[in-house]
Amino acid sequence: YCGVLTNIGLAHLEGFGDIETVRRTKLELLDYVKVAVVNADDVFMMEGIKASGFKGKICRYGIKNTAEVYATDIRLHERGSSFRLHTGAQGFVEMHPKISGMFNIYNILAAASAGSLLNIKLPDIKQAIDSFEGVPMRLELKELNGVTVISDVYNANPASMEEAVKELVRIKKGRAIAVLGDMLELGPYAGEAHRRIGRLLKELGIDIFIAVGPLMELAASEFQGVSYTSRASAEAGELLKDIRKQGDSVLIKGSRGMNMEKVLEG
């Protein structure tokens, strides 16, 4: 009945080959649904949907572009956020989700769109979303010995890595330390994707970069700041122990195959 398309980014390119194939494959969902919930702010995806000739109903959600479900008055907090959720016929409601980050507001809009289409009442949508605590290994915020840690170790691709780094910068009070592992399955795009992360870290003023894996060494070469390299996550954890001090904010992120959860073990 209803399918949800959140975004199209550089992920799993080792198998798909290029971003056009990723888009074409994701849009195959449209062949099996009558209603599509789509991110109006993903221009590349919206262009593909228009070209596909999809004849079903489209429910758009977004923040920047015209959409049936959208957010206004957004305020990002150290933990969680608050915003006004608009759903067309049902009006709007004030939201106070516990999960953090602008990208999670997009995820909430997608969920609210699907719920609204299934005739779930707005107060029930609010209650479900505001009570959601998040899931393990995805943007978990922890306090360890006076250090704020963002543990986002489930997986990584260029888009999610960029959002996580921005979240680190947003919440930091003292030094910002990025402990980043290789982003896998990017095929021929891998080198440049990692170099771009290094340039982003430099642009956003990250104080210390611990690069984990041979691909992240490419990012470190672009960073040009205080950086350390390691081949394994456990080794990076030992480096972090020596470097961190009270008041620091730390992001730990990488692809699942990099086992980045080991950074905080021991």
Query: pLDDT tens digit string along 39-48?
Result: 999 999 999 9
CB 200 within 8 A of CB 165: yes
pLDDT at 1: 79
**Would the pLDDT of 227 be above 70?**
yes
Residue 65, classed as helix, strand or coil, is coil
Share of the chain above pLDDT 70, in %: 97
Structure tokens at 137: 């290994």
Contacts of 77 (CB under 8 A, 6+ apart): 100
What token pair was written down for 72?
A: 């206004």
What is the value of pTM for the model shown? 0.89
What does the DSSP 8-state code read for residue 119?
T
Instruction: Give the confidence band of 266 by pLDDT, cuts at 50, 70, 90.
Output: low
The pLDDT of residue 188? 87
Mean pLDDT of 110-115: 97
Across residues 83-106, what is the average pLDDT? Answer: 94
pLDDT digits 0-9 by tens, 151-192: 999 999 999 999 999 999 999 999 999 999 999 989 888 999
pLDDT score, position 123: 96
Q: How do residues 114-161 score in pLDDT, each as one tens digit?
A: 999 999 999 999 999 999 998 888 999 999 989 999 999 999 999 999
11 falls in which pLDDT band (50, 70, 90)?
low
Residue at token pair 């393990």: 136
